[in-house]
Amino acid sequence: MKCVVGMSGGVDSSTAAFLMKERGYDVVGCTLKLFNNEKAEASIRDAQSVAKFLKIQIEVLDCVQDFQQYVIDYFIDYYKNGKTPSPCVICNEFIKFRYLNEFRKKHEADLLVTGHYAKIKRGGSFSELHQGASSKRDQSYFLYAVDQSILYYTEFPLGNHESKSVTRDIAKKAGIQVAEKPDSQDICFILNNDYISFIKHELKGTFEFKSGNIVDTNGKTLGQHNGIINYTIGQRKGLGLSGGPFFVYRINAERNEIIVSNKEKIQAKKIYLTNVKFINSPFEGECKVKIRSNGEKIRARLFYDSDRKCWCVDLLEKEYGAAQGQHCVFFDGDRILGGGEIN
C-alpha cells in the first residue's frame, strides 16, 4: 500500500508521515511551494530534512503562480471590496488538495494524507467528513469545499488526537527534529500577521485605502475611519467614537463608508449564501452551523430560497457579526454536510 503525504515542514504533517510509515505504508512526501520568500524556503528545507530522517522520498511542486491567482489575488480583492476573505478554505479547495491528489494519481498511491485535525469515514462509494477529536484544533470547517472525489482517497491520521500535545509527544519520541517547531500563523503567506502591510506591498501603489466616514444606519456621520481594510464586521474596539457602544454593522466599499450600529442590530438572523457545496447530497432542514472558523455551532434551518434562487440559513439562536466573504458551514452532529460563502 502506498500513500502520498502533504508535508509542509511542520510537526503535524511530519507526524502524519511518520504514523503512516508505522502503519506499513510506502510513504511519498509532497511539499507545495506556494509563494516566494525565505519562510517558504525554510519550510521546504524542514520538510526535506524530515523526509530524509524518515527515509522516504519527497518532491517539491511549484504552485506559486496558481496560489497567486486563486488565493493571494482573491484575498486582496475581497479586502478592497469590504469583504472578509477565508484564504484557507479557498486554498484547500483550489490548490492544496487538487495538487496533492494529482500527485497521488501520478504515483498510483492508495491514499492522500495530510496533517489536518479532522476525520474521514468511508461507506461504499462515498466518504464523510467529520470533526476531529480536538475541539480546539479541529480544522474541518476549512475542508468542507474539498471535492468528494478527493475526500474519498484522503486520510487524516491526527484526527483522533485530542490535543496538539499528543502530536508533539509522538514526534518527540520518534526523534523528529521539528517536534518543538512553533505553530504556523493563521495566514501562511503573511509575515507577523500584518496583512495590511502585505496587501499594500502587493498593490504597489495601484490602489489606496483612503479615509472616509463612519456613519450610523441612518447615514449620520459619527467620525472618520482610516481605510476600510482596517475594519471587520462586528468590530467594537478601535472605532474612536464617543457614545455607543458601537459595532461595525456593514462595510460599504463603493461609498468608502463604515456603517456602525448597536449590538442588537448586528445580530445575524438570516444569511444568504453563494457558492454552496454539499459533501454528499443536498440537505434542507434543521442543522447546526458555524459562521466563522472559531465560532460555536448554533441551531439553524437551511433551505433553498426559490425566489432569490440561492441557499439561505435562518439562525435559530443568537449570533453576531456575520461577515460577507466568510463561510457558513453546516453540521449534523460532528459530520460536515457542506457550506457556502456568506453573501
Q: Are residues 65 and 183 in the same domain?
A: yes
pLDDT beyond 80 at 83: yes
pLDDT beyond 80 at 228: yes
Number of domains forming the structure of the chain: 3
Q: Are residues 248 and 279 in the same domain?
A: no
Q: Are residues 8 and 115 in the same domain?
A: yes
Task: Specify the 3-state DSSP secondary structure of 196.
Answer: helix
C-alpha–C-alpha distance, residues 75 and 97, integer Å: 19
Q: Are residues 236 and 288 in the same domain?
A: no
Q: Are residues 130 and 213 in the same domain?
A: no
Q: Looking at residue 205, what is its pLDDT?
A: 84
Q: Are residues 237 and 163 in the same domain?
A: no
268 grid coordinates: 445575524
Q: Looking at residue 283, what is its pLDDT?
A: 96
Q: Which of 188, 287, 312, 328 is catalytic?
A: 188
**pLDDT average, residue stretch 197-218:** 93
Task: Specify the 3-state DSSP secondary structure of 240.
Answer: coil
Last residue of a domain, one of 261, 284, 305: 261
Q: Which of 3, 30, 63, 91 is catalytic?
A: 91
Q: Looking at residue 38, what is its pLDDT?
A: 85
* 312 among known catalytic residues: no
- pLDDT band with cut points at 50, 70 and 90 for residue 188: confident
Q: Are residues 220 and 335 in the same domain?
A: no
- Among the listed residues 101, 165, 97, the one whose alpha carbon sits nearest the alpha carbon of residue 133: 165
- pLDDT band with cut points at 50, 70 and 90 for residue 191: confident
% of the chain beyond a pLDDT of 70: 99
pLDDT beyond 90 at 192: no
* CATH number of the domain within which 282 lies: 2.40.30.10
95-99, 171-175, 318-322: range with lowest mean pLDDT = 318-322
**pLDDT average, residue stretch 309-329:** 95
**pLDDT average, residue stretch 235-259:** 94
Angular region, 165: left φ>0, alpha ψ -120 to 50, beta rest: alpha
Q: How many CB atoms lie within 10 A of CB 20?
A: 23
C-alpha–C-alpha distance, residues 285 and 54, integer Å: 48
Q: Are residues 82 and 174 in the same domain?
A: yes
Is 245 a domain residue? yes
Q: Looking at residue 4, what is its pLDDT?
A: 98
Q: Looking at residue 17, what is its pLDDT?
A: 98
* Pairing verdict, β 57-62 and 26-33: parallel
pLDDT beyond 90 at 41: yes
**pLDDT average, residue stretch 191-198:** 87
Q: Looking at residue 252, what is its pLDDT?
A: 96
Task: Specify the 3-state DSSP secondary structure of 9.
Answer: coil
Predicted model pTM = 0.94
What is the amino acid identity at position 264?
E
Domain that holds residue 254: 209-261
Is 39 a domain residue? yes
Cβ atoms 278, 109 nearer than 8 A: no
Q: What is the DSSP string of 295-334?
A: SPPEEEEEEEETTTTEEEEEESS--B-PPTTSEEEEEETT
**pLDDT average, residue stretch 240-245:** 89
* CATH number of the domain within which 225 lies: 2.30.30
**pLDDT average, residue stretch 157-161:** 97
* 310 among known catalytic residues: no
CA triplet 257, 260, 264: central angle to 5 degrees? 150
- Among the listed residues 289, 255, 286, 257, the one whose alpha carbon sits nearest the alpha carbon of residue 271: 289
CA triplet 288, 131, 268: central angle to 5 degrees? 30
Q: Are residues 222 and 284 in the same domain?
A: no
**pLDDT average, residue stretch 94-121:** 98
- pLDDT band with cut points at 50, 70 and 90 for residue 187: confident
C-alpha–C-alpha distance, residues 54 and 60, integer Å: 17
What's the mean pLDDT when you consider all of the chain? Answer: 95
Is 144 a domain residue? yes
- pLDDT band with cut points at 50, 70 and 90 for residue 132: very high
- pLDDT band with cut points at 50, 70 and 90 for residue 148: very high
What pLDDT, in 10s, does the model give residues 54-69? 999 999 999 999 999 9
